[in-house]
Amino acid sequence: MIAFPNCKINLGLSIIAKRPDGYHELETIFYPVALKDIVEIIHGNDPTTPIQFTSTGLTVPGNLDQNLCVKAFELLRKDFPNLPNVKIHLHKHIPMGAGLGGGSSDATAVLKLLNQQFNLGLNNTQLVNYAAQLGSDCAFFVYDKAYHATGRGEILQPFQCDLSNYQIVLIHPGIHVSTAWAFGQLTPSSKEKSIAEVVAQPMETWKAQLINDFEYSIIQAHPTIGALKNLLYEKGAIYASMSGSGSSLFGIFHNRQSLSRSLFSDQFRVDII
């Protein structure tokens, strides 16, 4: 079976408090964007190897035991020991370490494919519980619609937000931002107005009010990111922001505009959706 897991952007990201468990209380709106990877799962042909993993496209770094797709399989196999041996192939197109949630999306796609292919009978609530064990934003990809997220990102409520009449431009500057470092630069705080309240307003108000808390310190450390955000506004974005803890940026444009990649950068990766 094959799935085409897509990425996400964050419409605002507030870090509200540090939790006793070491995580952070946050608020954001997750919104799905149709930049996609490909995941295929078939029966394995090696009876001694529970999982065989291969990949093409962008190079997937790290050891196999740290790969989220592999972890997703192993997580389900603990509760379903009769799960057959499988081969998983990932074609990677979504940039990694970019704040777009591509790895989380791939892992959740593996959970959903295994559930469907081998008739495990898991409902969405159960899939969310498994996904949340893999990563804070994995649970969102079970539903893959606009959701208001709180807690550490796993408490999800449907949110009315439709950007289908707009174009979204993604710019990946190829800058690695350590998530641990990014969190270390923050002073968590409650906000006067919630992200949900701001996103419910006309988009023209977002520029002044819809904030990603990570942006300030990351732009201070990497001015190129700030310059690219300004470029998105110069080219007509209604709203532009960094996604997650970076380093990718996105701009939301009126759909009637004729946009080309060269309009934004011939130095960095640009995707227009």
Whether 145 and 214 share a structural domain: no
**Residue of 8, 36, 92, 229 marked catalytic:** 8
Whether 88 and 196 share a structural domain: no
Whether 125 and 257 share a structural domain: no
Catalytic-residue membership of 18: no
User: What secondary structure does DSSP assign to 67-83, as a single string?
Assistant: -HHHHHHHHHHHH-TTP
- Tens digit of each residue's pLDDT (9 = 90 or more) over 73-90: 999 999 999 999 999 999
Whether 110 and 204 share a structural domain: no
- Tens digit of each residue's pLDDT (9 = 90 or more) over 172-230: 999 988 888 988 898 888 888 999 999 999 999 999 999 999 999 999 999 999 999 99
Is pLDDT at 257 greater than 70 in this prediction? Answer: no
Whether 104 and 69 share a structural domain: yes
Whole-prediction pTM: 0.93
Q: Which of 217, 35, 221, 152 is nearest to 139 (CA)?
A: 152
Number of domains in the chain: 2
| Domain interval for residue 215 | 166-272
**Residue of 106, 137, 213, 271 marked catalytic:** 137
Asked which of 158, 178, 209 is the last residue of a domain, the reply is 158
Kindly report the CATH number assigned to the domain that includes residue 61: 3.30.230.10
Whether 147 and 201 share a structural domain: no
Side by side, the strands of the sheet bearing 2-3 are: 2-3, 38-43, 86-92, 51-57
Whether 247 and 135 share a structural domain: no
Top-confidence residue, 47 or 51? 51
Q: What is the dihedral of CA 68, 127, 136, 73, to 10 degrees?
A: -10
Determine the angle formed by the axes of helices 68-79 and 102-117, rounding to 10 degrees.
30
Q: Do the beta carbons of residue 131 and residue 90 sit within 8 Å?
A: no
Give the separation between CA 47 and CA 136, rounded to whole angstroms.
Answer: 33
Kindly report the CATH number assigned to the domain that includes residue 188: 3.30.70.890
Record the tokens describing residue 94, joined without a space: 């979504």
Catalytic-residue membership of 193: no
CA angle 43, 44, 48 (to 5 degrees): 145
